[in-house]
Amino acid sequence: MSSQGFKQLRVAVVGGGIGGLSAGLALRRAGHLVEIFERRGFDVEVGASISCAANGSVHLEDWGVDVSEMSPVNLMKLTMRDWDTGEVQGVYDLSGYEKEWGRVYFMLHRQDMHKVLLKTAISEEGAGTPCKIVNDSICESVDLEAGIVKFTNGKFVQADLIIGADGIRSVVREQIGVVPDIKSSPQTCYRCNVLTKDIKELGLVSHSYEPAIQFWGGNEGRNGRSKYYKIVMAPCSSGEVVSFYCFMPTEMTNHREEGFAFKECPVSDILKGRYSELDPNCLALLKSSRERMPWRLYVHQPYTHWVNKQTCLLGDAAHPMMPHQSQGACQAIEDAGALGIIFSSKYPEFTRDVEAGLRLYQAIRKPRATMVQAASARATDNVAERIGFTSIDIKDEMLRPTDGSLTVKQMNEYNMHHHVAAEVSKLRKSQESLHEMAHL
């Protein structure tokens, strides 16, 4: 296919999180000039473990990102445990994952992932012009007619393509006319970390730092325990840190704000209600935790649209989801992957007609991300809906997924290059027929 007529675009990305940096990288590799505007410095980056399954790392590989620099843990299994006893109820074995899907299932610390994406995006090495990062730039508004992003510091930038990667409380989302339907989730979360060296020193259970994601609870509870009690635990930072997500019914917390960076809270904020019944080994780990932060969860219904003129949404700004499928980062990476493919020299027509390219972006990405968003909501009510557990035989009837649950195969078999090529071929054919009809 000819790359004739390829136009280099000026791209403004609002938000320098994992999604924004991925978009910057994808579009830099595609030959465009990218500026990434972040509201604050990166020194405040916090976080805990983030999953990077094969559907995410396939794009990182395309962009030349060296995942080994992110201090990954290569996951070997997903383990489901009983809340009270810690007894193993089901295991999804990942030992054949790399062979089957071509890449391992990585567990990363968000800060490590962010650092390496940033480094690669701005590096002089590798294809394309290094992305320019502009910190302390809080987006205030977007003029869709003029293609201008305005910042609260009075500065502005004009661009051919504007990407709202500004997270869960996106400003760009409002500017493109989305009216979000947001409700408080019945479940809320606290994140915390335990150092593997502390686990060893204190003689706590060694299975805590094995390369596995482990789940306690998360199902319709026996003895009246709410299904919203759940722990998700996974090692990251080369196995030096074990990260915990501690879920509970929302009425157990007074924390209201949506977001990630808050003041640390005492362990007593977590160990309330039915946490007294938690597997004593897991409880002992939590008592030794640090970096404890609240993470209030809200349920966002799928948005009506993600694009308007030359502006689009990406990542959490486009499809905020409950964390239960561990796909938030991967879905943001997939969005970025789609933009990089659509605006590549393989499809030069979209670099000359950005709005048409963004319509295709929405058509490619919205159904898939919405599918994951819905599966994440289902997994709020039943841990067996988690990708991976949907493919194993679980003896306990209370822990069975419903028909039509999301599977590892659905996530990893997908080929975005093929999907885009098929859609473009349809578009080109319909344009050719219109052209022929006009000349009859």
Ligand X SMILES: Cc1cc2nc3c(=O)[nH]c(=O)nc-3n(C[C@H](O)[C@H](O)[C@H](O)COP(=O)(O)OP(=O)(O)OC[C@H]3O[C@@H](n4cnc5c(N)ncnc54)[C@H](O)[C@@H]3O)c2cc1C
Q: Which stretch binds ligand X (CB under 6 A): 206-214, 267-275, 310-318, 396-404?
A: 310-318
Distance between CA atoms of residues 274 and 173, nearest Å: 38
Give the residue with the Cβ less far from ligand X, 48 or 424. Answer: 48
H/E stretch holding 81 reads strand 77-81
**Residue 372 binding ligand X, by CB under 6 A:** no
**Residue 164 binding ligand X, by CB under 6 A:** no
Q: Which stretch binds ligand X (CB under 6 A): 4-12, 78-86, 167-175, 200-208?
A: 167-175
In the region spanning residues 183 to 202, those forming contacts with ligand X, defined by CB under 6 A, are 191
**Residue 45 binding ligand X, by CB under 6 A:** yes
**Residue 35 binding ligand X, by CB under 6 A:** no
Distance between CA atoms of residues 51 and 75, nearest Å: 9
Choose among 79, 384, 379, 399: nearest CA to 208.
79
Instruction: Single out the residue of 112, 316, 334, 385 in contact with ligand X (rule: CB under 6 A).
Output: 316
For residue 412, what are the contacts with CB-CB under 8 A and spacing of at least 6? Answer: 53, 54, 55, 100, 101
Q: How far is the CB of 323 from ligand X (least distance, A)?
A: 5
Instruction: Sketch the per residue contact string, 332 through 371, with ligand X: x for CB under 6 A, - otherwise.
Output: x---------------------------------------
Q: Which stretch binds ligand X (CB under 6 A): 78-86, 210-218, 312-320, 382-390?
A: 312-320
Cβ burial, residue 99 (10 Å; 0-12/13-18/19+):
exposed
**Residue 167 binding ligand X, by CB under 6 A:** yes
Distance between CA atoms of residues 163 and 22, nearest Å: 11
Give the residue with the Cβ less far from ligand X, 364 or 424. Answer: 364
Q: Which two tokens stand for residue 112?
A: 């490590």
Distance between CA atoms of residues 294 and 165, nearest Å: 23
Strands 290-295 and 187-195, by their bridges, are: antiparallel
Residue 371 and residue 385 in contact, taking contact as beta carbons nearer than 8 Å: no
Give the residue with the Cβ less far from ligand X, 315 or 401. Answer: 315
Give the residue with the Cβ less far from ligand X, 46 or 434. Answer: 46
Cβ burial, residue 54 (10 Å; 0-12/13-18/19+):
buried
Provide the CA 388 distance to its chain's centre, in angstroms: 17
Q: Which stretch binds ligand X (CB under 6 A): 221-229, 313-321, 389-397, 419-427?
A: 313-321
Choose among 300, 298, 296: nearest CA to 255.
296
Q: Using CB under 6 A, count the residues that bind ligand X.
A: 35
**Residue 261 binding ligand X, by CB under 6 A:** yes
Residue 337 and residue 62 in contact, taking contact as beta carbons nearer than 8 Å: yes
Q: Which stretch binds ligand X (CB under 6 A): 11-19, 58-66, 211-219, 279-287?
A: 11-19
**Residue 56 binding ligand X, by CB under 6 A:** no
**Residue 50 binding ligand X, by CB under 6 A:** yes
Instruction: Single out the residue of 9, 11, 13, 14 in contact with ligand X (rule: CB under 6 A).
Output: 14
Choose among 115, 98, 175: nearest CA to 140.
175
Where on the chain is the footprint of ligand X (CB under 6 A)? 14-20, 37-40, 45-48, 50, 110, 137-139, 165-168, 171, 191, 260-261, 315-317, 323, 328-329, 332
